[in-house]
């Protein structure tokens, strides 16, 4: 595909990041499947080709308000290690937003952020598809539950469907930009490997990245020892995964799976009988968790 596009459009560029400045001479298209961006000179695109590209990709318009002083300073700080718009002693984290909705009014997003978080988070719109929330470390730190409720409100009140990556707090001193760009990579990995998720973190993405780098030989061992004996029973595997993610807490696991505790105990026992692995100790639970991830990628 890349070769064909290059042949059609000599200026074609494949980008991992969305440009933050508009040169007014190029189209920017977003491939939502790979989370990459394509830049093509407008003069090389005919009306028919433009219509075809629109049917395959999303057209990105660069935020014209990024020239406003605060937004511009944050963008320069995040992408170019420019001066931070906050005190040098401040720890901050970046919460990335990727819109799943075709058209998002910036005013709606601003209204939603202000209504939900007040002035505790700074919204910086990067493009028609991306924005970030800057949170400074304070007495109260927004939780995953807070952000989850925010996404529900966005969808129900403003019809904005968003995927989110919650970054880690770091000092604003250099190299904060490298932290941010690394988190953007993790976000892309998460979107490409865990499509059903709405909120991503390093902890959520890391296991999937680890499985992706696992050798075929190791995967075959897990398939032979775990997946084949249970005949790829996805209900069992999802139960094992949730039990692991819930810290081996049966009550929490049962609640998240919406099953009776006795049903959970039955599944745990059944899995152990079929595989010989005890899900109630860390070693067995880890193998079962890896097996659940391998099963989902096949």
Instruction: Give Cα 48 distance to the centre of its chain.
Output: 33
Q: How far apart are CA 29 and CA 15, in angstroms?
A: 10
Helix (H) or strand (E) holding 172: none
Which pLDDT score, from 0 to 100, does residue 59 have? 80
Tens of pLDDT, residues 22-39: 667 888 888 877 888 889
Average pLDDT over residues 161-176: 90
More confident position, 249 or 192: 249
- Kindly tell me if the per-residue pLDDT of 66 is higher than 50: no
By the 10 Å C-beta count (0-12 exposed, 13-18 middle, 19+ buried), 233 is classed as: middle
Beta bridge partners of 165: 96, 200
Query: b/e map of 150-184 (b: 16 or more CB within 10 Å)?
Result: bbeebeeebebebbbbbbeebebeeebeebbeebb
Helix (H) or strand (E) holding 118: none
More confident position, 63 or 91: 91
For domain 214-296, give the CATH superfamily.
PucR C-terminal helix-turn-helix domain (1.10.10.2840)
Q: Where are the domains of the chain?
A: 2-60, 64-208, 214-296
Average pLDDT over residues 204-226: 91
Q: Kindly indicate whether the domain formed by 64-208 is annotated with CATH number 3.30.70.270.
A: yes
Angle ∠(90,116,96) on CA atoms, nearest 5: 55
């Amino acid at each position: 595909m890349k070769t064909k596009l290059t042949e059609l459009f000599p200026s074609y560029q494949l980008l991992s990041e969305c440009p933050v400045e508009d040169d007014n001479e190029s189209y920017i298209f977003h491939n939502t499947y790979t989370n990459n961006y394509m830049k093509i000179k407008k003069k090389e695109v005919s009306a028919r080709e433009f219509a075809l590209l629109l049917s395959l990709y999303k057209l990105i318009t660069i935020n014209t308000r990024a020239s406003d002083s605060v937004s511009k300073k944050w963008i320069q700080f995040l992408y170019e290690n420019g001066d931070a718009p906050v005190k040098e002693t401040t720890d901050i984290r970046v919460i990335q937003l990727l819109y799943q909705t075709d058209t998002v009014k910036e005013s709606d997003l601003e209204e939603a952020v202000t209504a939900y978080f007040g002035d505790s988070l700074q919204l910086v719109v990067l493009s028609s598809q991306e924005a970030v929330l800057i949170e400074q470390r304070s007495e109260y730190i927004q939780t995953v539950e807070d952000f989850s409720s925010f996404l529900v409100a966005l969808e129900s009140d403003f019809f904005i469907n968003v995927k989110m990556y919650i970054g880690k707090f770091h000092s604003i001193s250099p190299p904060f930009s490298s932290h941010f760009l690394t988190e953007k990579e993790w976000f892309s990995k998460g979107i490409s490997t865990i499509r059903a998720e709405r909120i991503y973190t390093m902890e959520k993405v890391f296991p999937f990245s680890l499985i992706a780098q696992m050798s075929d030989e190791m995967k075959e061992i897990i398939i032979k020892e775990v997946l084949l004996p249970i005949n790829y029973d996805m209900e069992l595997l999802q139960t094992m995964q949730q039990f692991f993610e819930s810290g081996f807490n049966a009550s929490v696991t049962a609640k998240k799976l919406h099953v009776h505790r006795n049903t959970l105990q039955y599944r745990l026992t059944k899995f152990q009988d079929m595989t010989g692995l005890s899900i109630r100790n860390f070693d067995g639970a880890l193998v079962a968790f890896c097996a659940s991830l391998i099963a989902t990628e096949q």
